[in-house]
Chains A and B, each alone.
Chain A
Amino acid sequence: MNTGFAITTGSMFATIISVANINWHGMFFAIFALAACAMAVAVVLTDNVVRMAFYLVLSLGATAGLFFLAGAEFVGAMQLMIYVGGTLVLLVFGVMLTAQAPFVSMKTPQRDWVLASILAVCLLAVLVQASVGVDAWRTAAVSVGGGVQREAPEPSATPLGMALLGMRVDNDSSGIVTPSIRSGYLLPFEIVSIHLLVVLVGAAYLARAKRRRTPRAVETAGQSESKEEVRVAS
């Protein structure tokens, strides 16, 4: 009886192994995509602003995972470092600074929700129709027989760096290799650098701590006292 049981389990296992074929790339894509979409919807549906920030962090982290799966490793790491680790930390700081009790959960009236749902359904219908409607976008790169043996995508950090310096060294699908036809990204790179500097100065100036002017105390007894108060306060 025991050996019979073992043989049955063993043969079931062998059958499962030979028949089942988990496409890990597809599975991880499904995990990351579902996480990103579910967290994005959670951001919309929740009322508590701190939880919204947290769900946004998870959603953008899952998006970074999607970038890694698509072979864009540099952009994925950039998303994690700048977007999640920079922009969202800034956002969370802002949330903490303004998370007083009345502002943490602000509810929207019912009719706004109705209008927003209609808008969402229409927009989603249009976008989904466009996404699945174009045949050229539906064929994948490799036929999935055994799953994960895709060719390793060409590393993207150095070509991207060279492109930002103005020299295009990547393979184009049109086969053009000479760099003079395809332009680099040197000018946008420089513009963005100056832009970030301007934004740094501007945001620091906008958010500076302003000296608060206390009102002059004209009703207190004694001129000298009020003069002292004004001198101390200004």
Chain B
Amino acid sequence: MADFLIHTGGLPDWIAWAITASLAAFFILNVIAGGALAFIWAERKIAARIQDRLGPTRTGGKFGWLQSLADGIKLLTKEDLMPDGADGLLFRLAPYVSFCASFAAFIALPFAFDFVGQRLNVGVFFVIAVLGLEVFGVILAGYASASKWSLFGAMREAAQVVSYEVPLGMCVVVPVMLAGSMDLVTIGEKQAGWFFQWYLFHDPFTFITFWIYVTCAVASVNRAPFDLAEAESELVAGFHTEYSGLRWSFFFMAEYGSMFLVSALAAILFLGGWNGPVPVASLLGLSDGSGDTTGYFVRLAGCANLMTKATLGVLIMMWVRWTLPRLRIDQVMTTCLKYCTPIAAVMFVGAMLWTLALPGGFFRGLGRPAGEIREGWLLGPGGMSLQVQKNGEAPPSSSRFEQSESPVSQVGL
């Protein structure tokens, strides 16, 4: 979009980049904040229906859809309390640290082909790394509240998030290995086509990895049944006991933002991302199957597709929350260390052996095989540097890895 502003609008470089960046940040902020509003309403409705009652029905008509807005206004007008022995600076900064971590992870998340804040070469790694930074806000909140219940909740949550990063990382490595790149746009791109091109159906190991990923992701964002950090029946409200008003709502925007993020990540890694179950665009002739040639409107449709999948993931998380009982801390740790980690490791080895044995995936011959990238690299270590010297300018950052013709022949050796 910056190129559009520079070439068409005639604006100088720096303003064009500033406007583009501001628009991207504004969009992401709206996704988080608006999403949080919608998800809180959805949570109350789903919780109510599961518990055989109705939920909010008065604010804004029959379905109470303005309830979240009313809650937000109420939170804005609450008194700004701080406990007596609390560390002032840390108490005030903690919600923003959590929120910044959740927001920063959206920078590398693509919503469609090239609809991404910053197309990072190490996208997956960056997202997982930044998600793990949310725990600092929680620890600071727990400590700075000068209350032992808050400290207990914060320490439990920190232990849980840090422990579950290990199987989460291992589950995430499986689609990275299948795609050959950590770039999220590339991973989504490789699943273009029908629904059986999705990595979910690539091989049985990846299928099981998806469910382990779901478990670890739910534990990572501290949702039930892993939500003992904010266990309402045990610790008053855990680490955010002493927070009220706008500060509390920042914690909750961070939580719902993270839920949306891990769902969107699951959608991109396993469920095809912005590529639908049915490749509507290529059937209608609007694109030829690769994301590079799609126009603006097709990408918008892909964006809506991805957000639908992510929203479905969040709704399923809510459904699970109000269905299953809460796990104890020792059960949480047992699940992580004795079940999730070994299973994730075995699935990783299994997926690796499967791709070595059957490079075409489960449905051979249909769609593009996942073994393209390996051929490019197996041509030898000179393959990549030869490609760089081929053009004069630097090639776009990831298409180099997707060229299926032999790079040696392109250089003309």
Taking chain B's interface residues, is the majority helix, strand, or loop, or is none over half, making it mixed? helix
Interface centre among B89, B139, B181, B383 (most CB of A within 10 A): B139
A149 touches B384 (CB 8 A): no
How big is chain B's contact interface, by range? 35 or more
A96 touches B139 (CB 8 A): yes
A81 touches B397 (CB 8 A): no
Interface centre among B121, B181, B386, B398 (most CB of A within 10 A): B121
Interface assignment of A103: CB less than 8 Å from any CB of chain B: no
A74 touches B143 (CB 8 A): no
Contact with B along A121-153 (1 / 0, CB 8 A): 000000000000000000000000011110111
Interface assignment of B48: CB less than 8 Å from any CB of chain A: no
Residues of chain B with a CB closer than 8 A to A51's CB: 87, 89-90
B403 to chain A, nearest CB (A): 14
Interface assignment of A9: CB less than 8 Å from any CB of chain B: no
Residues of chain B with a CB closer than 8 A to A76's CB: 126
| A146 and B383 in contact, given A80-B133, A151-B394 (Cβ under 8 angstroms) | no
Bound-state Cα–Cα, A156 to B310, Å: 30
Residues of chain A with a CB closer than 8 A to B397's CB: 152, 154-155
A57 touches B14 (CB 8 A): no
Interface assignment of B347: CB less than 8 Å from any CB of chain A: no
Bound-state Cα–Cα, A2 to B393, Å: 50
B121 touches A22 (CB 8 A): no
| A73 and B120 in contact, given A57-B136, A146-B12 (Cβ under 8 angstroms) | yes
B382 touches A81 (CB 8 A): no
A48 to chain B, nearest CB (A): 8
B133 touches A177 (CB 8 A): no
- Find the B residue at minimum CB distance from A176: B385
- The contact of B17 among A24, A96, A157, A158, by CB within 8 Å, is A24
| A158 and B128 in contact, given A22-B14, A146-B12, A152-B397 (Cβ under 8 angstroms) | no
A residues sitting closer than 8 Å to B (CB atoms) are 17-18, 20-24, 48, 50-51, 54, 57, 61, 73-74, 76-78, 80-81, 84-86, 88-89, 92-93, 96, 99, 146-149, 151-159, 162, 167-171, 177-179
CB-based closest 9 A-B pairs:
A81-B129, A155-B121, A85-B132, A80-B129, A77-B125, A151-B394, A146-B13, A22-B14, A179-B381
B residues sitting closer than 8 Å to A (CB atoms) are 11-15, 17-18, 87, 89-90, 93, 120-122, 125-126, 128-130, 132-133, 135-136, 139-140, 143, 151, 155, 158, 162, 165, 181-183, 377, 381-386, 388, 393-394, 396-398, 401
